Amino acid sequence: MEAVTTLPYGRPLTVADLDLMPDDGHTYELIDGTLIVSPAPGLRHQLAHAALMKLLMDACPDDLRVISAPFQVTLADDTGVQPDLLVAPLEAFSKRDLPGAPTLVVEILSPSTRMIDLNVKRSRYERAGVPSYWIVDPLEPRLLVSELIDGEYVEVADLAGGQQWTASLPFVVTIVPDDLVG
């Protein structure tokens, strides 16, 4: 018989409560005290993830690290997220998590996470001061890039298919959406 996970009752959830979640193949995140549970990603999501991870790791300078989910980013006591990919300075990491905003967050859309990634997470990353937020849609394929300017996200790139874009933040890397799901 499996153990039953019991969440605290009568108080807001905290990042510490995420440790109570089962290891069942789902992703458990907490955004402003609200628990978000997502199923394991599908094939196109994983293809895009692997291709983008390789591109980022090949271009990443020595003072930064590219990390893949599952890995927690703790933005506040009530907000712990697991971006698909993130980039941050090596010295910013603890042994357990990244306590604070990464330099880059990449979310790859899945049918179950689309609205959360496009709205809730975008807003939360903006408030946390994440300088660059990339959203990959592996079904189109498409890349949307927002950068923080004067405290607000501004869309700096929206490309699809065979279009090419070269990022300068957090480092120089060229991306073609079609190549991510080839």
Q: Measure the N-to-C terminal CA separation of the chain; round to a whole number of Å.
A: 43
Residue closest to 132 by CA, chosen among 106, 152, 167, 104: 104
Assess if residue 47 is contained within a domain. yes
Assess if residue 4 is contained within a domain. no
Number of domains in the chain: 1
Assess if residue 152 is contained within a domain. yes
Percent of the chain exceeding pLDDT 90 equals: 78
What does the pLDDT read at residue 26? Answer: 83
User: Do residues 21 and 8 make contact, with C-beta atoms less than 8 angstroms apart?
Assistant: no
100-137 residue pLDDT tens: 999 999 999 999 899 999 999 999 999 999 999 999 99
Assess if residue 24 is contained within a domain. no
Average pLDDT along the chain = 93
Assess if residue 56 is contained within a domain. yes
What does the pLDDT read at residue 65? Answer: 98
What is the β-pairing status of strands 79-81 and 73-76? antiparallel
What is the β-pairing status of strands 85-89 and 64-68? antiparallel
Assess if residue 110 is contained within a domain. yes
What does the pLDDT read at residue 2? Answer: 56
Tell me which residue range forms the domain holding 174. 39-181
CATH value at residue 90:
3.90.1570.10
Assess if residue 67 is contained within a domain. yes
6-56 residue pLDDT tens: 667 777 889 988 888 888 878 888 899 888 888 889 999 999 999 999 999
Assess if residue 86 is contained within a domain. yes
